[in-house]
Structure 1
């Protein structure tokens, strides 16, 4: 039985307190990176650098020698060739590159930096290692559904070790943006709509990327918490769009996952693209200096997002490139990604007195300190080893972990009549749909180095799982967005000849991710027509939903007796799905995002406010907070997910129902499995403050436990509440808690009754 909850320190930080924050050992280590003793030889370098060389250290460019997805994700831009970029390195005009093409590229660039420049400062090699390197793991949103931070730590550790073997020092991950609008495509990179789950996963992924032996370990990569801040709150779910939220919302919703990442030791953060209440984050001094530096005492490195400083001009915040450079740099962005603005304009700004030399030295010191932490001054080639690159990627152990993570990320939404798990023999299976077969749309968005060509598809996984592969037929049926000539007729024939249909439909990986906002979060019409035709055959249908976001599901998909959300699972996509389909692995994941009734509800999240006119339970009433056609609720809420068991909650015990200010209250419930299959239940604890000086959400997740239950077994599951668990950001924008009554639920989802009662904070 594993229990996940926020520590008291994390709760205090989540509410904005700094006392516990400053006491953290990780914070103390990061404080030493700013204005404090670097190794004397490294410190001496700063005094000998020209202003141009200093600006070069603050310049990060897309690698000219790239490959695969990196070419389309981050074009190399002004460097027309690798030789031209090497010349920039030799001239001291580049401090690092990102998304390059492996150890040999890094070796050549590091030789140029450390042997052929005046100061011999090592290069920094960065990359977008979002959910795997060559071994691709489930997209982060899917993995968050495991509700298992240890699994996230393990996959991040494997991804970091593979990346380090290819010469990479620094990953632009984890993304810790709370995302509550399913139209926004970048939700795939984070952990969904809940603050606590985002905090816990942020902590786990930072520790995974960085390892346990220090950042100078050869298999460690530095983490970068992004995007600071509130990128997930973009208006209308439109990527890069305006964000306008209150400071209370920032401190209560969007800041806590960053604080958790920094507390776990993340030494860098990335400024977000969006503006924040009228000031772009890349030039937001309140955000990057007053909050991040002065209040939180973060002493690490701030990097812009890709051309974020350049985009200040399009925002209408800067008149030209020179002003954009000054505004971003003086706001607190230490390193510029790919615009080239810092190397072009900082020297002139310093000469004109518009940028103090002390600020320039401060930023250079932060970059050099990161390189020291990574061990690059001791051995600039510690991660650059072509032999390791060949032997430490896609190992059997990492592929097995990818399969485990995939199966544990699949959410069972529905299983009427216990259709699942399917027997491995004795049934003819028709795999139908555009995702039934083929090495496409397996690894998901935002993977630079893995490929679908190296991943295992659904048909291969299913055929390997059944006793007789000849009993499995595969029919495409339709395209993603368009019908296929004769496709539906072929699918219907295949369904009629089968005992059960497995219908694989949903999104392509190009429909989610960066710059992939959708106005309608639905399964495309061509595939819905296919689903209707297959359903009309009367054969039992298992729907597999491939998606990078919450979807608004409709009939006939909703009418299928069994529905699995299979996301994008990575290198072992097909085997992981087959493991769950045939019961080799019991489904145990839960939704990290709410699936709404309709697109028009979004942004939707379970932790919404009640309003003064809530619709009471039951029928929709007039003049209440609801839509004409749907309740203010989710079709499948956050935390929902079934098992192959039959789970029931009973026997709530609230002790004496009173929590003293300096005491504890232990609450418990009995969870029982009356089914024929073993199950792993995610038991969730929610509370609601019934009366407070600031209105509170209808529910807030405070802890969860994973509980293994054999058939017929029951267990008492307990949680301990403390005053710190009840903190919120009060009227003075400070953490506070007020005596009074609290509703409590121990339940299987954010909108399930489970068992509930009241307790009092005295």
Structure 2
């Protein structure tokens, strides 16, 4: 069915049928769903009729091949023109076989791994009947109090953009129409959702158009350039207007400037939320503003179905606007091949074959090992298989290691830390004591932990956050570990035993009371289905940690936001002529984070020989090459992430102290060296000026190459006007 056929189909539709295509409802509304009929309370108040359901365009939260087939077949019998439903769901970092949370996965700095994770998630979801995933989330984040940092890829626009492309490739593949193992991607949340004030979900975002374009928009644009099929509007305000009703943002920037002609969907309930935002007096005005802004699909509120027809009759909007939205939705259905195969991908047999398969579990295990960041190691790791270990803490035997967005994941199927450790060491060598719960505990539990640890060679502390302490609406003002867990560490410290902390959490934490008390810290995030085995292999040296942070860990909560690519001030700390007091600083803590962007340790060591630059000058037609030799000077093979940063010394507007421009991930055997070459072009030096023009300026720059954003070598060069 080509576009002219779709237009012909639209002409056959009544206005009510067209408007219903713009409505997305959850599973219980639909005949054939196992939860059918569970529509009570507030959902009944939506005033949804059978005709609206029969003509609706999409459903969210439906999955499982059998149920999807039942719902789709029942729907097609009731839909006059036989238009199939789009099935959408939150498949964020795995469908049933769960990968590490996205923030953890991003610490691998591995685009092939990210793409593979999305490909596997898509294959499982598609077999279960899902057509569209609400992913990737590419919101740039600088505030770890915000619970949804776990779903992001960190604080850097370049790295976020690379991941945005990788996830879209993995979810969608190259041919959505014929490759039924893939799903359409929906990039979110447009725009700047990660900048919510106070790190509080759904809260106000207020920033300049310059900052928005310079830091927050690049990753969304990268996802669209990769062919992402859908965009989800954010809950937050942009320039004082909620994104869902923001005509300048959605129609002006997204549609007209960027040329996006795919489907634009609201977030859950966001059209109706224009009322409490205070920009719409009622549902009718909310419908008007959302439609004028370009929202095609209204998720889980009923402003469109109840008010668009009246708005057309009153000539506030035109039916042609409805037709355009319907056409975009039908095009997506056509792209997915749903008109020819309405139950596309859904297969009970394929579900049984691939979901939680050995192949997928192996991929998840590899991803988990590559996502854990070694933050501290005072010669206690790796453990030896013969050592007596006291495994203590609320995550010693806990399946809550999947994270809050593991919709179909099973905590019961997750490999717990103890179960992973006994695959490497004799169970007789490991003594377990919970010590405390995640947020509560008793003196008797603490004393039992001390007793368990007295004869141990090493104490391994399994600590962290309950999964509901992060994710959507999982915001925390105090991001230290819960007090009882800090008390557990303090209780064990006097034993004088080496202590290793393994952290299970969804955000960078304030680690006071942890990193200063223990000998080693392994940040495991929520590592996914195979987490226990992956962590055990790292603890015992079967694998070498290689991940590096993509979001800074604050020194304390009060330092937030803290990020590596911050701007210079007129009174920078440490300037040669600065007075001791009157500079931009805290009196009681350092300016720097506890652990910076790009940081992560290994069991081996890497030496960076003197970096070299091909020339002291660059022009539009004369890029530079930057070289450095990296040598594995330790006794264990390891992966290293070599990072290239640039600083623009004088700009039209203030420039960051460093900006990531490129990186290489290499593997070196003991004693092996590799020459790393980066090419740096004029295009990579462009930025948004005060008038929002995107260009570069001639002048002086510093290139930095090294193992993190702070451990670098400097190379100076000048960008000239000449096109040599």
Q: How far apart, in 2, do the equivalents of 1:268 and 1:90 lie?
A: 22
Instruction: Please state if 1:178 is matched with 2:140.
Output: yes
Q: How far apart, in 2, do the equivalents of 1:90 and 1:742 lie?
A: 60
- Report the secondary structure of 2:421's partner residue: helix
| Deviation (angstroms), 1:738 | 0.5
Q: How far apart, in 1, do the equivalents of 2:579 and 2:508 lie?
A: 24
Q: Is the 8 A contact 2:647 2:657 kept in 1?
A: yes
Q: In the TM superposition, what are the counterparts of 1:587-606 in structure 2 within 5 Å?
A: 587-606=545-564
Q: Give the number of equivalent residue pairs.
A: 713
Q: In the TM superposition, what are the counterparts of 1:213-252 in structure 2 within 5 Å?
A: 213-252=175-214
Paired position in structure 2 for 1:284? 246
Paired position in structure 1 for 2:17? 53
- Report the secondary structure of 1:365's partner residue: helix
Q: How far apart, in 1, do the equivalents of 2:557 and 2:346 lie?
A: 47
Q: How far apart, in 2, do the equivalents of 1:690 and 1:110 lie?
A: 59
Paired position in structure 1 for 2:538? 580
Q: Deviations over 1:264-315 (max 9, x none)?
A: 1101000000011210000000100110011000110100000000100000
Paired position in structure 2 for 1:553? 511
Indicate the RMSD between aligned Cα atoms, in angstroms: 2.0
The alignment's TM-score, normalised by the length of structure 2, stands at: 0.96
Distance verdict in 2 for CA 1:746–1:332, change over 3 Å: same
Instruction: Please state if 1:416 is matched with 2:374.
Output: no
- Report the secondary structure of 1:408's partner residue: helix
Instruction: Please state if 1:152 is matched with 2:119.
Output: no
| Deviation (angstroms), 1:582 | 1.1
Q: Is the 8 A contact 1:245 1:277 kept in 2?
A: yes
Paired position in structure 1 for 2:393? 433
Q: Is the 8 A contact 2:639 2:666 kept in 1?
A: yes
Q: How far apart, in 1, do the equivalents of 2:316 and 2:74 lie?
A: 32
Q: Is the 8 A contact 2:263 2:332 kept in 1?
A: yes
Q: Is the 8 A contact 1:620 1:631 kept in 2?
A: no
Q: How far apart, in 2, do the equivalents of 1:373 and 1:386 lie?
A: 23
Distance verdict in 2 for CA 1:361–1:125, change over 3 Å: same
The alignment's TM-score, normalised by the length of structure 1, stands at: 0.91
For structure 1, list consecutive stretches of 5 or more residues without a partner in the other structure: 1-36
Paired position in structure 2 for 1:627? 586
| Deviation (angstroms), 1:108 | 1.9
Paired position in structure 2 for 1:91? 54
Paired position in structure 1 for 2:309? 347
Paired position in structure 1 for 2:449? 491
- Report the secondary structure of 2:495's partner residue: coil
Q: How far apart, in 2, do the equivalents of 1:585 and 1:478 lie?
A: 30
Q: Deviations over 1:480-501 (max 9, x none)?
A: 1122241111111111111011
| Deviation (angstroms), 1:76 | 8.5
User: Which of structures 1 and 2 has the larger relative contact order (alpha carbons within 8 angstroms, sep 6+)?
Assistant: 1
Q: How far apart, in 1, do the equivalents of 2:610 and 2:713 lie?
A: 8
Q: How far apart, in 1, do the equivalents of 2:285 and 2:156 lie?
A: 38
Q: How far apart, in 2, do the equivalents of 1:559 and 1:665 lie?
A: 46
Instruction: Please state if 1:708 is matched with 2:670.
Output: no
For structure 2, list consecutive stretches of 5 or more residues without a partner in the other structure: none
Paired position in structure 1 for 2:28? 64
Q: Is the 8 A contact 2:465 2:481 kept in 1?
A: yes
Of 662, 665, 672, 2:621 maps to 662
Q: How far apart, in 1, do the equivalents of 2:168 and 2:273 lie?
A: 28
Distance verdict in 2 for CA 1:761–1:273, change over 3 Å: same
Q: How far apart, in 1, do the equivalents of 2:257 and 2:3 lie?
A: 27
Instruction: Please state if 1:293 is matched with 2:265.
Output: no
Of 701, 704, 710, 1:745 maps to 704
Instruction: Please state if 1:608 is matched with 2:566.
Output: yes
Instruction: Please state if 1:695 is matched with 2:654.
Output: yes
Q: Is the 8 A contact 1:274 1:281 kept in 2?
A: yes
Q: Is the 8 A contact 2:143 2:560 kept in 1?
A: yes
Q: Is the 8 A contact 1:543 1:563 kept in 2?
A: yes
Of 157, 167, 171, 1:195 maps to 157
Instruction: Please state if 1:647 is matched with 2:606.
Output: yes
Q: Is the 8 A contact 2:63 2:129 kept in 1?
A: no
Moved more, 479-488 or 142-151: 479-488
Distance verdict in 2 for CA 1:556–1:349, change over 3 Å: closer
Q: How far apart, in 2, do the equivalents of 1:65 and 1:395 lie?
A: 32
Q: How far apart, in 1, do the equivalents of 2:63 and 2:662 lie?
A: 42
Q: How far apart, in 2, do the equivalents of 1:535 and 1:745 lie?
A: 40
Q: How far apart, in 1, do the equivalents of 2:474 and 2:295 lie?
A: 27
Distance verdict in 2 for CA 1:632–1:90, change over 3 Å: closer
Distance verdict in 2 for CA 1:616–1:215, change over 3 Å: farther
Paired position in structure 2 for 1:515? 473
Paired position in structure 1 for 2:363? 401
